[in-house]
A and B are shown apart, each in its own frame.
Chain A
């Protein structure tokens, strides 16, 4: 199997899925599971392949080609795995979708598109598939809760993608080739061209990752997308932005090309600026996530914060931090995927993701709870989950370069994440069971599969992070960096080493101790949510008595509630519209005299200025 025929098969079978879903909704959904599994299987076979070239088609005078590489495989496997796992949820949502056939088709198209992005040999192929991913995912989002958010998504995304397109053609104009390798070689002679290209091209990565100030689409779109697509958006598609950043900064070796530029803390100032944006998104994402009422919006903001870690890691371009950033791509895909999926499971049973309407679901949905718990432990960067490994490596990278401010933001985000990931846990799973959800059951077995697999992978790579890091060190060597150093389960960095197995054992021991203490100590007495003292007043709305309402009120009051970036974008949009209205009144007025004026002005200007011809 080759990449080009795989892409062609994917595109054709997406049409097939569309037709079959029209016939039978469930059948089409099962086909998405089947095909994404097949895609995962085939992509897995490319693990050790690098430098194989496949030609797709002649596109006019251009040629679209794919090339295998280690970094492409890594991203592709993370994405296809996310798609595959999420697709298990599809069959159960077909009844609720407004247009299931289109959903399944676009799901497939976006999945195949991501593979195309990663394996692209030249920038044109990369851009084509990037845009295919954008518009195919774009049309899934309005099937959920909002018709406005897809437009926000498209706007921000197209700012990025068109900036990238501009950079690509600028490169084509100056280098005469779309080929990434050729561009990379040519750029080593032309740092001035590359400096401009670096900033224009990386905008695409920033918008897709949701880095400040382009983060506004994440909570909007992820929060309102269909429940089954939010995990793909957050766990998967955001990583496409990480890939663009990787191409811009590492595959085209920015650290070598820009070595002559001002160096800040050991990296070129261009990379440092992007890292600063990453640090701001960590802080913004954390602070905003803390005060979200809706669990999906909360996870979306946590994605903003985690994208910050990824971009910081990737921009470090060193032995340790870069490995951490790359590993975080996988960890965050699994963790945020599991978080979104567990809330999709909750929504499937209860119909809501609002935290104040939930509560006490641990007794009804224990497996969903466990999956969520493992995911948040990983996301908060607590051992022995895999999230700890990547964050530790990023901290190491920051510390060894002496990047104080960014490290401060990274630590802030890590501690803040305890606050926000705990909120849905306590609000939805712990506490009292809302009387509305007395009859809720655990989700069907097929929806449990992805939760179990994601949890397993998170724990497994937490205990044996070396398995992933070994591959990442291969990637590092292939792009001209020093590979991360591993010895068995020991990971070695500048300031010391860390043995994941030992740490797991310690934590396991602690867990056992706590469990023993829990079982021998007296049990807490469960109290019904409505069983409360109200001075004889009748209680009708359980939501108001939910203890997770205004959970962090005191904390939130310390910073304002204005979404300043959103306000800014709204203002820009309003100005554009106002400008449009102005054009309408100035040039398309009811009276003809306006246009006679303009025509006169045109002739006058031409004659004043025209004698220079």
Chain B
């Protein structure tokens, strides 16, 4: 059993060491990543006090089933990202270790201000990494909006602190229902907006297009899977368990989630560049998953979160590699590219079909669960989810058909019309793609072997009483 503090402390320590021993930094990075990826499975569950102060007076880490599974997923995703982006590490190794510490802390922490600190750590590291793409204006926009988001979040928790005198999540969740309506609405909207910036909710997400649309093989999967999963998981934790909105306000949030989903999917439909298309798809998925968290379908939300994260690893790695190798990612110029690298093509296809939610792939299980929990609420939300899925399916199928089949329109498909593009340094991605592809197919036929822990996680998120007694039980 591994103490969860180590998941934050060891990457931070390694980051410090790597500043002094530059040559060993890649060993440290991979070592730390492998350590966190493996130790995620052996994490000790329960509440951990930091500095010996009992909650609600001190900061605590909380490992329940929910953060347990998110930690495993995020650390695995981080490792996969490193593997597929290992040619792009350059001078970013220290930053990456800091990000690893930050994202682990973000998921595990039981304190709202501590969460703010970790959020700042990863967003600032995010600015630095994003700047490696040389699109400084986009980074500046990210900086402005990211700072705005952090300030909004900080303002939200300030209101809470002023009212309740505590920042401990468990303590707040206990007292929150008794807070007066106006405080509730102010704090909730500010926290929502602040986290919405990182979670890519419309209208707080203007930075995403510039950043995601110009990613490198390292930052692409990193932002779209590790950051996105972390941000959405925190969203689920806070609005699913800690600060549960009232039934009226929650509809505003659900509406925003659904608007994000459908608007972003239509934008993706209008995109001609692969990375831009995937960007909008990421935004759409974020909107969908957050909607699911808001309507209380935690199980469906978690399945889709994991489905989306692993699918996007392949999709973004492939797209960014294609751009890196050829200097272009216009979809029309890529026709027949999968014929050159069938393994990646297989992984990409399976990931895509899973993301759309077609049967035989894991995403279908996510979709039927989403519909089931949406129908429990009313008839309109599932209809909108289905509308978004149709749009999503169309542009992804258009993409797949293009990438598998070279050929002029009106002529038989043949190798002659194949794109001149190549994928360089694709070996590690091929392996990842096949591995994830097989997992998607197997879990699409027998979902139980993945979903057992997800179900537990969803239960622990909806079971606030256990959370409270674990954290505050000592008092």
Contacts of A142 in B (CB 8 A): 401, 404-405, 407, 413
Q: How far is the CB of A167 from chain B (nearest CB, A)?
A: 11
Give the Cβ gap from A297 to chain B, nearest Cβ, in Å.
13
Let me know if A613 and B269 touch, CB within 8 A. Answer: no
Say yes or no: A150-B376 contact (C-beta < 8 A), given A124-B368, A584-B267, A606-B252. Answer: no
B48 interface residue (CB < 8 Å to A) = no
Among B61-69, B215-223, B226-234, B353-361, which stretch is in contact with chain A?
B353-361
Majority secondary structure, B binding face: helix
A158 contacts the other chain (Cβ, under 8 Å)? yes
A57 contacts which chain B residues (CB < 8 A)? 445-446
B360 contacts A132, C-beta separation under 8 Å? yes
Q: Is the CB of A147 within 8 A of B401?
A: yes
**A146 interfacial by beta-carbon distance below 8 Å:** yes
- B431 interface hit (Cβ, 8 Å): no
Residue of B nearest to A125 (CB): B359
B203 and A592 form a contact (CB under 8 A): no
Q: Does residue A610 face the partner (Cβ distance < 8 Å to B)?
A: yes
Q: Is B335 an interface residue (CB 8 A)?
A: yes
Which of B204, B376, B383 is close to A599, meaning CB atoms less than 8 Å apart?
B204
Interface string of A597-613 (1 = CB under 8 A from B): 01101110111011111
Distance, CA A147 to CA B248, complexed state (A) = 47
Q: In the assembled complex, which residues on chain B have CB atoms less than 8 Å from the CB atom of A127?
A: 359
Q: Does A9 lie at the interface of the complex (its beta carbon under 8 Å from any beta carbon of B)?
A: no
Q: Report the stretch among A420-428, A474-482, A575-583 that lies at the interface.
A: A575-583
**Which residues does chain B contribute within 8 Å of A145, judged by CB atoms?**
409-413
Name A136's closest neighbour in chain B (CB-CB).
B360
- Chain B residues contacting A60 (CB-CB under 8 Å) are 365, 368-369, 447-448, 451
Known: A131-B359, A145-B412, A577-B269. A610 touches B446 (CB 8 A): no
Closest Cβ–Cβ distance, residue A40 to chain B (whole Å) = 23
Which stretch of B12-20, B23-31, B87-95, B388-396 is in the interface?
Answer: B388-396
Q: Which of B113-121, B122-130, B177-185 is the contact stretch?
A: B177-185
Q: A386-428: contact bitstring with B at CB < 8 Å (1 yes, 0 no)?
A: 0000000000000000000000000000000000000000000
Q: Is the CB of B193 within 8 A of A602?
A: yes
User: CB within 8 Å of B: which of A92-150?
Assistant: 96, 98-99, 102, 124, 127-129, 131-132, 134-135, 138-139, 142-148, 150
Most B Cβ at <10 Å: residue of A60, A148, A173, A603: A60
Please tell me which stretch of B34-42, B140-148, B304-312 contacts chain A, meaning at least 4 of its Cβ atoms lie within 8 angstroms of it.
B140-148
Q: Which of A135, A142, A147, A148 has the most CB of B within 10 A?
A: A147
In the assembled complex, B249 has its CB within 8 A of some CB on chain A = yes
Q: How large is the interface on B (under 10, 10 to 19, 20 to 34, 35 or more residues)?
A: 35 or more
Contact flags (1/0) for A168-196 with B, using CB distance below 8 Å? 01101100000000000000000000000
**Any chain A CB within 8 A of the CB of B285?**
no
Q: Are B358 and A587 in contact (CB under 8 A)?
A: no
Interface secondary structure of A, over-half rule: helix
The CA-CA distance from A134 to B266 in the complex, in Å, is 23
- From A99, A146, A584, A588, B339 is in contact (CB under 8 Å) with A99
CA distance A143 to B413 in the complex (A): 5
Task: List CB contacts (< 8 Å) of B280-296 with chain A.
Answer: 280
Question: Across the interface, which residues of A come within 8 angstroms of B148, CB to CB?
Answer: 596, 599
- Assess whether B270 is interfacial by the CB under 8 Å rule: yes
* Interface residue? A27 (CB, 8 A): no
* Interface pair A592/B386, CB less than 8 Å apart: no
Q: Would B401 and A613 count as touching, CB distance under 8 A?
A: no
Instruction: Write out the residue numbers on chain B whose beta carbons fall within 8 Å of the beta carbon of A577.
Output: 266, 269-270
| In the bound complex, CA of A148 to CA of B394 (Å) | 11
A58 and B448 contact, Cβ closer than 8 Å, known pairs A598-B203, A606-B189: yes
Shortest Cβ gap from B329 to chain A (Å): 17
Residues of B close to A605: CB separation below 8 A: 252
| CA distance in complex: A10, B174 (Å) | 55
Q: B414, A59: Cβ atoms under 8 Å? A: no
Known A-B contacts A599-B193, A611-B182; the reply to A592 vs B144 at CB < 8 A is yes
Residues on the B chain within 8 Å of A154, using CB:
393-394, 397
Give the CA-CA distance A588 to B205 in the complex, in Å. 8
Return chain B residues, CB-CB under 8 Å to A170.
Answer: 375, 379
Question: How distant is B289 from chain A, measured CB to nearest CB, in Å?
Answer: 18
- Choose among B358, B371, B376, B405 the residue that contacts A135 (Cβ–Cβ < 8 A): B358
B185/A606 in contact, CB under 8 A: yes
Specify which chain B residues have a CB less than 8 angstroms from the CB of A155 in the assembled complex: 390, 394
Q: Which residue of A lies closest to B444 (CB)?
A: A59
- Chain B's closest residue to A146 (CB) is B409
Of A150, A165, A589, A603, the contact of B401 (CB 8 Å cutoff): A150
Least Cβ–Cβ distance between A112 and chain B, in angstroms: 11
Partner of B398, one of A151, A159, A581, A590: A151
* Interface residue? A166 (CB, 8 A): yes
Chain A residues in 8 Å Cβ range of B209: 584, 588
Contact of A587 among B182, B205, B359, B412 (CB under 8 A): B205
B390 touches A159 (CB 8 A): yes
Docked Cα-Cα span, A584 to B205, in Å, equals 11
Given A165-B371, A584-B270, A594-B206, A158 and B447 touching (CB < 8 A)? no
Q: Are B249 and A147 in contact, with the CB atoms below 8 A?
A: no
- In chain A, positions 491-549 with a C-beta closer than 8 Å to chain B are none
Set of chain A residues within 8 Å of B202, measured between Cβ atoms: 587, 598
| Closest partner residue, chain B, to A600 (CB atom) | B203
Looking at B249, B268, B353, B368, the one whose CB has the most chain A CB atoms below 10 A away is B368
B142 (CB) vs chain A CBs: closest residue: A592
Asked if A595 is at the interface (CB within 8 A of a chain B CB), the reply is yes
CB distance from A150 to the nearest CB of B (A): 5
B372 interfacial by beta-carbon distance below 8 Å: yes
Whole-angstrom CA separation of A169 from B370 in the bound complex: 10
In the bound complex, do residue A151 and residue B394 qualify as a contact, i.e. CB atoms below 8 Å apart?
Answer: yes
Does A162 make an interface contact (CB < 8 A)?
yes
Query: CA A144 – CA B413 in complex, angstroms?
Result: 6
The answer to whether B203 touches A602 (Cβ under 8 A) is: yes
Give the contacts of B244-277 with A (CB-CB under 8 A).
Answer: 246, 248-249, 252, 256, 263-264, 266-271
Q: Which residues of B contact A583 (CB under 8 A)?
A: 263-264, 266-267
Quick check: is B348 within 8 A (CB to CB) of the other chain? Answer: no
Residues in A with CB closer than 8 Å to B181 are 611, 613
| Residue from B369, B394, B412, B415 in contact with A158 in the complex, judged by beta carbons closer than 8 Å | B394
Q: A577-B269, A598-B203 are in contact. Are A151 and B397 (CB under 8 A)?
A: yes
Measured CB to CB, the closest approach of chain B to A587, in angstroms, equals 6
Report whether A172 and B365 are in contact in the complex, using a CB–CB cutoff of 8 Å. Answer: no
Determine the distance from Cα of A598 to Cα of B181 in the docked complex, in whole angstroms. 24
Nearest-neighbour CB distance to chain B for A28, whole angstroms, equals: 16
Q: Closest residue to A578 on the B side, CB-wise? A: B270
Contact call A592/B359, Cβ cutoff below 8 A: no
Q: Which residue of chain A is the closest to B365 with respect to CB atoms?
A: A60
Q: Is the CB of A135 within 8 A of B353?
A: yes
Residues in A neighbouring B137, C-beta threshold 8 A: 590
Q: Are A580 and B267 in contact (CB under 8 A)?
A: yes
Closest to A173 in B: B375
- 6 closest A-B pairs by CB: A598-B203, A580-B270, A595-B206, A580-B266, A128-B359, A588-B209
Subset of 28 A-B contacts with CB under 8 Å: A127-B359, A131-B358, A135-B358, A138-B401, A142-B401, A142-B405, A142-B407, A143-B405, A145-B411, A147-B407, A147-B409, A151-B397, A155-B390, A166-B386, A173-B375, A577-B266, A579-B266, A579-B270, A580-B269, A580-B280, A583-B267, A596-B148, A598-B202, A598-B203, A603-B189, A605-B252, A606-B252, A613-B185
Residues of B within 8 A of A (CB): 137, 141, 144-145, 148, 181-182, 184-185, 189, 193, 202-206, 208-209, 246, 248-249, 252, 256, 263-264, 266-271, 280, 335, 339, 353, 358-360, 364-365, 368-369, 371-372, 375-376, 379, 382-383, 386, 389-391, 393-394, 397-398, 400-402, 404-407, 409-415, 445-448, 451
Excluding A147-B409, A576-B270, A576-B391, 17 further A-B contacts by CB distance (< 8 Å) are A96-B412, A98-B405, A99-B405, A131-B359, A144-B412, A159-B390, A169-B371, A173-B376, A590-B137, A594-B206, A595-B145, A595-B203, A595-B204, A598-B203, A601-B203, A602-B193, A613-B249
